[in-house]
């Protein structure tokens, strides 16, 4: 009887220790309104990869919302300005999704945007914004064969004056002409487009290349 009691106490202590270890291993999560911040270990710049975050976030969206999610763009913030000495290291990546949840009668829908931001600190921020509608092309099944690192290298190899900006966006705009998805480097004052399929670099927006005044992407970046 004494042996059984000792064994039971030992099993309880082992279970308690395992539970504490499990909780310690789980990332801390903070929820404020529609924003969830999940803490994680600090990562090296080389491990913050655009393609990896897109793949991970698309799986997260499918698991949470099923096939109703739509992937629209990746917003990349570099550690250094494009016109300064830099190596293309990334400070953060925000992948932008939209969910259109139709009602049973198909007459209306609940529409909201989900922003998933990955930071070098290890934090992942999930931000839900209600009532927004995105008008770019959906990238769920879009062919994107050029990686960000190659797009960056292609741009930096050109003689174009580099913009004073840390911002890059991967998106496919709705324009007057059919075009592939583009990595867009810069801001509304000066930007360049790298084709996400061919890798070609241009100072003109291929979706609006025949229209004056549409060189820059829609929207204002910092």
- Number of structural domains in the chain: 1
Please give the residue range of the domain that contains residue 102.
29-202
Instruction: Report yes or no on 170 lying in a domain.
Output: yes
Res. 207 pLDDT band, cuts 50 70 90: confident
Instruction: Report yes or no on 208 lying in a domain.
Output: no
Instruction: Report yes or no on 3 lying in a domain.
Output: no
Instruction: Report yes or no on 181 lying in a domain.
Output: yes
Q: Report CA-CA distances (Å) from 173 to 35, 128, 208.
A: 27, 22, 9
CA–CA gap between residue 158 and residue 30 (Å, rounded):
44
pLDDT digits (tens, 9 = 90+) for 88-105: 999 999 999 999 876 666
Instruction: Report yes or no on 11 lying in a domain.
Output: no
More confident residue, 135 or 205: 205
Dihedral over Cα of 31, 73, 59, 66: its sign: positive
pLDDT digits (tens, 9 = 90+) for 99-150: 987 666 666 677 899 999 999 988 999 999 987 778 788 898 888 999 999 9
Which phi and psi angles does 68 have, rounded to 5°? -80, -5
CA–CA gap between residue 44 and residue 188 (Å, rounded):
30
pTM for the full predicted model? 0.77
Instruction: Report yes or no on 69 lying in a domain.
Output: yes
Instruction: Report yes or no on 138 lying in a domain.
Output: yes
pLDDT digits (tens, 9 = 90+) for 156-203: 999 999 999 999 999 998 877 888 999 999 988 899 999 999 999 999
Which structure tokens are listed for 168?
């890059």
Instruction: Report yes or no on 19 lying in a domain.
Output: no
């Amino acid at each position: 009887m004494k042996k059984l009691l000792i064994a039971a106490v030992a099993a309880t202590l082992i279970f308690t220790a395992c539970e504490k270890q499990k909780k310690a291993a789980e990332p801390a999560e903070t929820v404020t309104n529609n924003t969830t911040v999940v803490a994680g270990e600090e990562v090296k710049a080389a491990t913050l990869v655009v393609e990896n975050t897109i793949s991970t976030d698309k799986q997260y969206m499918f698991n949470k919302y099923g096939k109703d999610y739509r992937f629209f763009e990746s917003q990349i913030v570099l550690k250094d300005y494009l016109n300064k000495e830099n190596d293309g290291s990334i400070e953060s990546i925000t992948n932008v999704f939209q969910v259109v949840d139709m009602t049973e009668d198909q007459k209306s829908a609940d529409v909201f945007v989900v922003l998933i931001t990955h930071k070098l600190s290890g934090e992942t921020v999930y931000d839900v914004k209600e009532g927004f509608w995105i008008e770019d092309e959906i990238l769920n099944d879009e062919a994107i064969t050029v990686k960000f690192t190659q797009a960056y290298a292609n741009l930096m190899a050109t003689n174009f004056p580099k913009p004073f900006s840390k911002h890059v966006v991967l998106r496919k705009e709705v324009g007057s002409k059919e075009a592939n998805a583009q990595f867009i480097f810069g801001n509304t004052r000066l930007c360049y487009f790298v084709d996400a399929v061919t890798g070609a670099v241009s100072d003109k927006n291929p979706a609006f290349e025949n229209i004056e005044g549409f060189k820059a992407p829609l929207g204002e970046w910092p």
